[in-house]
Chains A and B, each alone.
Chain A
Amino acid sequence: MNMVAPRSSLRIRLLAGTLVWITASIIVAGWGLRSLFQQHVEAQFHAELKTHLDQLTAQLTLDSRGHASLALPLSDPRLSRPYSGCYWQIDQTHDGMPPETGVLRSRSLWDHVLATPPDTPADGEIHQHRIIGPEGKMLGMVERSVRIDDTPDGKSRSFRLIAAADESLMTEPVSRFSGALWLALGVLGGGLVIAALVQVFIGLAPLRKLHTALGKVQSGEMQHLDGDFPAEIMPLVDQFNAVLVQNAEVVERARTQAGNLAHALKTPLSVLSNAALAPDARDSALSRLVIDQVGTARRQLDYHLARAQAAATALIPGTRTPLSPIIDGLVRTMRHIHADRQLALTVMPVSPSLAFRGEPQDLQEMLGNLLDNACKWAAHQVEISARCEGGNLRILIDDDGTGLAAEQREAVIQRGVRADEQVPGSGLGLAIVDDLARLYGGRVELADSPLGGLRAVLILPVAQ
């Protein structure tokens, strides 16, 4: 679940990065394309105006009275439709005097006269301007000066030729193009975002798989990370598996060492206590002291070794212990060890799929101690049953012995307290079982058994 937390999410990092790039590229592309198109349309607009101007220049003649006139009307039909947006006008200029504007005008101008800027282009020059035309619209305009020397009356005349067109002829296609362009780019961007999402989803799939596999290892379903992972993740998986193996080895070593220590200490203790109990030494003060101290040493040793072994477990992930074989093995052992008691040991059917999330040795230690206790105290009957309840294993061990008073139950679970000094090891056994169970997040509960004696309930995490 940590993988999708907003702050450190790889997915959000990748998506955010991709989104920024997609947005930036689309904006740059859109802006670039739009300005290219605009330049093109503007160039065409002015080229058309120049064509009109050229035609005007070619058709300009003087009639017999020296007035300007056109030899032929200009070909573009828009020039004859009123307020069509395409206009021309010819002004007559006089040196040192204000020009006579609108001596000839296109039909499209109707009764409007274009206000001309106060400049005079030199011969051959073309000037561009923006002016206000009919109906207050902005026009783009080109002008050129033409001087006609070959006149009927011999006086040369100057004219200013103007071709103009509504700027909307230029802006409209650009805005239409922009609309279509942004729509197309929007669709493209949407597609890219979806592609990025899919890519991130596919690209991060191995991480999700790893996450699932880790979960299975933790719940004890798998012993190690399994499956094919991409080359970038595989080293991580291999190292993790190596750590798991190493962990298990360390635990095994610690257990072996604890066992060796037990062996090394207990044999000399046996020698001491046997010597103290020999017929010639028995009942002397020294022998009583030795027996007493050996007993204390033994209890301390048992307690701390059990603790050491349990601590070594360190809850290795990936361990799973099926319940049934462990119970069967222990019951076989109990039948031998308590053979003289002629007990009826009954195992209620245990589902073969029930498993403990932990080490087999720890389960044996806990169950073994509880069963051993039950066998010591039972009159005739011991019964074992197990089930899964509320996500936990509940293993019930019932006996038909004398049971324990409620106020004693709490005490026997405390370390080293023994319910009856006559039955060796019982108190210690329960304390160790409870300690071990608690390391696994479980516990031991004592209750009245329907058989009449004590019921011990061992609650442990269940493995899927």
Chain B
Amino acid sequence: MRILIVEDEPTLQAQLAKGLSAAGYAVDTAANGIDAHYLGDAESYDAVILDLGLPQMDGITVLRKWRAAGRTMPVLILTARDGWHEKVAGIDAGADDYLTKPFHMEELLARLRALIRRAGGHASAEMTCGPLTLDTCNGRATVDGQALTLTSHEYKVLAYLMHHRDEVISRSDLVGHIYAQDFDRDSNTIEVFIARLRKKLPPGLIETVRGLGYRLSAPP
């Protein structure tokens, strides 16, 4: 899962990036409206955390531009402005959730998880695919009730495939959503993670669609 953090206060931005990375997200950051707009427009994110009071272009304008251009990624507004008129304006500009400062990192993470889950069309925190169950709240995967031991990268790949089950996901898609922008991307490592996952999962759950990518679906 790849997240864009837009926050102009450097310390808070660093704390957010640290907290989200620790929770297993790939994190990109932007400190002003222009950069934020460019990144959100050019890259594919699973969610955006957006501050409103930004230099150069304010958050609401950035959000409106994304939505006008057809960008549908979930956006959580994180701001100190806590008036209800501001919340309504934020939601009406296309935000999916609104959290005010000061906040608890746990609450932000919970809301972010729910946001990503809902964006994938999943109503509950637990997602299942055949014998496989993934609880996004505590990051635990089980097969027929048996807990799986996954490394952080394996979990990221599995979670992304779970959120997009029955869809064909290309290797570059996976790379983009698992690594931050400034990370050294090598799509070959993806094959390594897929191979390791296949060993831990029942056979046939992850299928290779030749020339296109991978698909996670319940065996018939």
Contact = CB atoms under 8 A, between A and B. Distances in A.
Interface of A: 259, 262-275, 277-279, 294, 298, 302, 309, 329-330, 332-333, 336-337, 339-340, 342, 360-361, 364-365, 367-369
A277 B101 contact: no
B121 to A, nearest CB: 13
B88 A267 contact: no
Contacts of B79: 263
Nearest to A336: B91
Contacts of B85: 360-361, 364-365
Nearest to B11: A271
A294 B104 CA distance: 11
B83 A361 contact: yes
A170 B103 CA distance: 111
A264 B53 CA distance: 10
Contacts of B96: 336, 339
A364 B84 contact: yes
Interface of B: 9, 11-12, 15-16, 18-19, 22, 53, 79-88, 90-92, 95-98, 100-105, 114, 118, 123
Nearest to B7: A267
Nearest to B84: A368
Contact of B105 (A266, A277, A333): A277
A259 B83 contact: yes
B97 A337 contact: yes
A360 B85 CA distance: 8
A342 B123 contact: yes
A89 B28 CA distance: 141
B19 A274 contact: yes
Contacts of A336: 91, 95-98
Contacts of A332: 88, 91-92
Given A332-B91, A337-B87, 6 more contacts: A259-B83, A262-B81, A270-B103, A274-B12, A333-B98, A336-B97
A274 B105 contact: yes
Secondary structure call for the A interface: helix
Most buried by B among A266, A278, A309: A266
Nearest to B87: A333
Contact of B102 (A270, A309, A339, A368): A270
A211 B214 CA distance: 77
Contact of B88 (A278, A279, A333, A340): A333
Contacts of B100: 266
A263 to B, nearest CB: 4
B80 A262 contact: yes
A264 B102 CA distance: 11
A120 B82 CA distance: 119
A278 B16 CA distance: 11
A270 B98 contact: no
Contacts of A277: 104-105
A391 to B, nearest CB: 26
Contacts of A337: 87, 91, 97-98
Contacts of B80: 262-267, 270
A339 B118 contact: yes
B73 to A, nearest CB: 15
A219 B80 CA distance: 34
Contacts of B91: 329, 332-333, 336-337
B12 A329 contact: no
B15 A274 contact: yes
Given A270-B102, A271-B9, A277-B105, A364 B83 contact: yes
B102 A294 contact: yes
A269 B15 CA distance: 13
A173 to B, nearest CB: 89
A364 B100 CA distance: 16
A330 B114 contact: no
Contact of A271 (B12, B22, B98, B114): B12
Contact of B114 (A294, A339, A369): A339
12 contacts: A267-B80, A268-B9, A270-B12, A270-B80, A274-B12, A329-B88, A329-B92, A333-B90, A333-B91, A336-B97, A342-B123, A367-B84
A339 B95 CA distance: 13
Contacts of B114: 339-340
A365 B83 contact: yes
Contact of A267 (B9, B82, B97): B9
Contacts of B102: 266, 269-270, 272-273, 294, 298
Q: Which 6 A-B pairs have the closest CB atoms?
A: A368-B84, A266-B80, A263-B80, A270-B102, A329-B88, A364-B84
Contacts of B81: 259, 262-263
Contacts of A340: 114, 118
B51 to A, nearest CB: 8
A147 B188 CA distance: 167
Contacts of B86: 259
B53 A364 contact: no
Contact of A262 (B82, B84, B92, B103): B82
